[in-house]
Amino acid sequence: MYPNQRLRLETSTERLTTRVIDLIMPIGKGQRALIVSPPKAGKTTILQDIANAITRNNPECHLMVVLVDERPEEVTDMQRSVKGEVIASTFDRPPSDHTSVAELAIERAKRLVEQGKDVVVLLDSITRLGRAYNNASPASGRILSGGVDSTALYPPKRFLGAARNIEEGGSLTIIATAMVETGSTGDTVIFEEFKGTGNAELKLDRKIAERRVFPAVDVNPSGTRKDELLLSPDEFAIVHKLRRVLSGLDSHQAIDLLMSQLRKTKNNYEFLVQVSKTTPGSMDSD
């Protein structure tokens, strides 16, 4: 079943990251979302903002943050800033530790869903998890480019595939980060394998991040499949109009325009009312 119950992330006027995500990539219970990010584009901060928004707006959801092959200071920062379960394996641990931590976390999440709970798992990152399985698994002899063993990619796919919306039951939402433009052929192969497995995607752009614009979201390729199930008909029509306006701009102009208009309004509702009153093309002249 496609997600049909919305997880609203908007919390406050000045927290623009979650306001942008709500407009560009709405998330529902049972979503399988990928945050596609080059290094230093702010993916960890986005995950923290999403985690804090979920604990604040959706206290009925059980939140789990899974950090694989991560820097110890990032783990401490996440534990201190997020009110949820943080399950981590730092980069100084062997690959088998990374894989077992991820497996324990997803099995625990599945058991909670079987009890009828709504669970949200944030994974940073699916690329590092793929790398860990590749290093930990015995060689099958079928090696893809970049030294990636073809059998090593099934377990992380199984992790992502666990996300689902269950009729008459709980839901398991997985939001995972995927790394691109790292300079590693193996990472590219791993990402290509996961591309298209998610039903929502948020693409971050390094060039936007280098201009110190955060969230560094590349608006036009980002979005949610079947987002009409999550939005009301009126909201869907206005967001559709907004996307049409933004699609005529390049990635830098699109996020600049969106951010400048969001700063002028108190919340997304007020912003969407404003968009519905303007004609396409006149938004940037405000």
The CATH number of whichever domain residue 93 belongs to comes to 3.40.50.300
Q: Does 27 map to a domain?
A: yes
Residue 117 marked ligand-binding: no
Q: Does 13 map to a domain?
A: yes
Q: Does 244 map to a domain?
A: no
Round to whole Å and give the CA distance between 259 and 53.
19
Q: Does 270 map to a domain?
A: no
Round to whole Å and give the CA distance between 20 and 191.
24
Q: Does 108 map to a domain?
A: yes
pLDDT attached to residue 286: 47
pLDDT attached to residue 224: 95
Handedness of CA 62, 63, 69, 70 (dihedral sign): negative
Residue 265 marked ligand-binding: no
Residue 55 marked ligand-binding: no
DSSP letter (8 states) at residue 283: G
What is the mean predicted confidence (pLDDT) over 94-123? 96
Q: Does 275 map to a domain?
A: no
Residue 261 marked ligand-binding: no
pLDDT attached to residue 150: 86
pLDDT attached to residue 141: 79
Identify each DSSP E strand in 32-112 by its residue range.
32-37, 61-70, 85-90
Q: 163 with 106: CB under 8 angstroms?
A: no
Q: Does 259 map to a domain?
A: no
Round to whole Å and give the CA distance between 268 and 242.
12
Q: Does 192 map to a domain?
A: yes
Residue 43 marked ligand-binding: yes
Residue 223 marked ligand-binding: no
What is the mean predicted confidence (pLDDT) over 79-90? 94
Residue 41 marked ligand-binding: yes
Number of domains in the chain: 1
Residue 171, SS3?
strand
Residue 116 marked ligand-binding: no
Q: 140 with 150: CB under 8 angstroms?
A: yes
Residue 29 marked ligand-binding: yes
Domain region containing 112: 5-226
pLDDT attached to residue 243: 94
* DSSP element (H, E) containing 176: strand 171-179
